[in-house]
Amino acid sequence: MEKSTDILVTVESLSRIYHRLRKEVNGQLVNEGLSMSKMKILHLITTGKTSATDIKNYMGFSSRTVVTVLDALEKEDMLQRQQSPTDRRVKYVYITEKGREKLRIAEQTHKVILDHMFAPLSKMQLDKFHEVCNLLETQPK
Full domain range(s) for residue 17: 3-138
Burial category of 39 from C-beta neighbours within 10 Å (exposed 0-12, middle 13-18, buried 19 and up): buried
**Residues 51-88: pLDDT tens digits?**
999 999 999 999 999 999 999 999 999 999 999 889 88
Q: Express each pLDDT in 22-50 by its tens digit.
A: 999 999 999 888 999 999 999 999 987 89
For the chain, how many structural domains are there in total? Answer: 1
Contact (CB, 8 A) for 95 and 45: yes
Q: What share of the chain is helix, strand, coil (3-state, %, to 5)?
A: 70, 10, 20
Residue 106 CA neighbour count, 13 Å, CB half: 25
Can you tell me the distance from the alpha carbon of 69 to that of 42, in angstroms, rounded to the nearest whole number?
11
Q: How confident is residue 105, by pLDDT bands cut at 50, 70 and 90?
A: very high
Assign residue 110 the CATH number of its domain: 1.10.10.10
Top pLDDT among 48 and 91 is at 91
pTM listed for this prediction: 0.81
